[in-house]
Amino acid sequence: MFTADLITESRIGHGLEIASKKRLLETLAELLASGHPRLSTEVVFERLLERERLGSTGLGHGIALPHARIREIGEPLGAFVRTAAGIDYDASDGEPVDLAFALLVPEEANDEHLRLLARLAGLFSDPLNRARLREAEDAEALLKLLDTD
């Protein structure tokens, strides 16, 4: 479904004990920055937070899709977290979020950014996909679910 480097097993967290929206964004920033030579957790976190200030990226049904444009990368980059319990995320439906996919795209990637967001929103809009993601036992299983057509 996505390019091979968009989401990898090393950028997936599962069953994490996270108690706040801020900590969830920090965790996603850590995953996105890990192993990337031009990214720092602090810069990624700040970009995700800037976007979140414009309006919640909580899609409803326990899903959040934080995203940002960032000049330090040349290709889109994703990270996924499933929390042990839902957290208050100011989602449109008021439901707590337990599944979050963070997306970084290059600053100039307007069309690609929108296409990726639409594909992710489509993936998460399916109740069966959401249920499978919540039942997956580990990062490998989550990756397979995220990377299917």
Strands (E), the chain: 12-16, 58-60, 63-64, 67-70, 77-87, 97-106
Residue (of 131, 109, 130) closest to 120 by Cα position? 130
Phi/psi of residue 2, each to 5°? Answer: -120, 170
What is the torsional sign of CA 69, 149, 62, 118? positive
Q: Amino acid identity of 113? A: H
- Choosing from 14, 61, 67, 113, the catalytic residue is 67
User: Quick check: is 67 catalytic?
Assistant: yes
Catalytic residues: 67
